[in-house]
Amino acid sequence: METICSPNSGGTKTAEVCNADWMGSLPRRLSTLPLSNLAIPGSHDSFSYWVDEKSPVGPDQTPAIKRLARVSFVKKLMKKWSVTQNLTFREQLEAGIRYFDLRVSSKPGDANREIYFIHGLFGIRVWDGLMEIDSFLTQHPKEVVFLDFNHFYAMDDVHHEYLIQRIQEAFGTKLFPSERVENVTLNTLWEKKCQVLIFYHSPLAMQYPFLWPGDRIPAPWANTTCVRKLILFLDTTLGERAPRGAFHVSQAILTPRVKTIARGLVGGLKNTLVHRNLPVILNWVKTQKPGVLGVNIITSDFVDLVDFATTVIELNNLLLQGDRALAKC
């Protein structure tokens, strides 16, 4: 019987060995299904494993936060709430993450047009992140990624054109042009030697064939600190998922309120909200099934704290149950 993960040379199955090439290791039947029908692990604020305390506060923050940040220790506290991942892009890819939530900005006072990742504080240059992803893809030619550029700050048309040019330079022929969602299968991508789908939440996406419009990948946001409300929201929005025409992101994340941050100021996001709630969120993931109206992309904070990626990937085994039942007859 085909399985999604294969053992390493020592005969033991490890998440790292399996998940670096999990798409290429899928049973053949699953590689013919639309990617919108598969379960795909993703990360929230994927780039935020490193933020620069010495940089200005980002334009995504309120004027009040910017004023507070003039006090020296405030940025150190901000960092505790801005970082939502421990793993670099490369490490996330090796762990099996294939969807990346990307928020970008120009930097005040920067003389050139460079674009940076942003979540309260500035992260690494977008170009450096793209290069890291491209390097992995070159070494793993059957793996496919979704790069979702969904928030832009302090960017005019010149900045956008520069960023789009850099995306094209980074991935070249790996870019898969916008297409009917139902036509996007792993087999199709492999035949065309494409590995990257870029979603660009800006009207400019219509001008470039390799940019997918943002409405093709809705990502409903619960905006709650309550894990019970989050689970209810995830179930409700899955029930409202369109049967065709779009991918779907289930954001399995909790969002701190001002009072949440005030109460857990020193502890930060991970210790205040994530640690105690991730097991509940993972249990919800385990109850899901991919398919036309099932889960598709699921994102989480701190994807390394639990066996998140492997749990999502293994949901794809459920799509083979009909085949197994027939094989027994």
Q: Which domains does the chain have, with CATH numbers?
A: 15-328 (3.20.20.190)
How crowded is the C-beta side of 239, counted as CA atoms within 13 Å?
A: 6
pLDDT digits (tens, 9 = 90+) for 108-119: 888 788 999 999
Q: What is the pLDDT of residue 80?
A: 86
* Residue written as token pair 């990626």: 309
Q: What is the pLDDT of residue 125?
A: 97
Phi-psi bin for 107: left (phi > 0), alpha (psi -120 to 50), beta?
A: beta
Q: Which two tokens stand for residue 317?
A: 């085994």
Q: How many CB atoms lie within 10 A of CB 291?
A: 17
Which residues are catalytic, by number?
A: 44, 119
Q: What is the pLDDT of residue 327?
A: 46
Q: What is the pLDDT of residue 264?
A: 64
Provide the 3-class DSSP secondary structure of residue 95: helix
Average pLDDT along the chain? 89
Helix (H) or strand (E) holding 36: none
Buried b or exposed e, range 102-117, using 16+ CB within 10 angstroms: bbbbbbeeeeebebbb
Task: Mention every residue, 6+ apart, whose C-beta is less than 8 A from residue 89.
Answer: 46, 47, 100, 129, 132, 133, 136
pLDDT digits (tens, 9 = 90+) for 214-257: 999 999 999 999 999 999 999 999 999 999 999 999 999 999 87
Q: What is the pLDDT of residue 66?
A: 66
Q: What is the pLDDT of residue 149?
A: 98
Q: What is the pLDDT of residue 114?
A: 94
Residues of the chain with pLDDT under 50: 1-17, 325-329
Q: What is the pLDDT of residue 323?
A: 56
Q: Can you list the positions of beta strands (E) in 218-272? A: 249-251
- Distance in angstroms (rounded) separating the CA atoms of residues 281 and 133: 27
Residue 172, Cβ density class (10 Å: 0-12 exposed, 13-18 middle, ≥19 buried)? exposed
Q: What is the pLDDT of residue 213?
A: 97
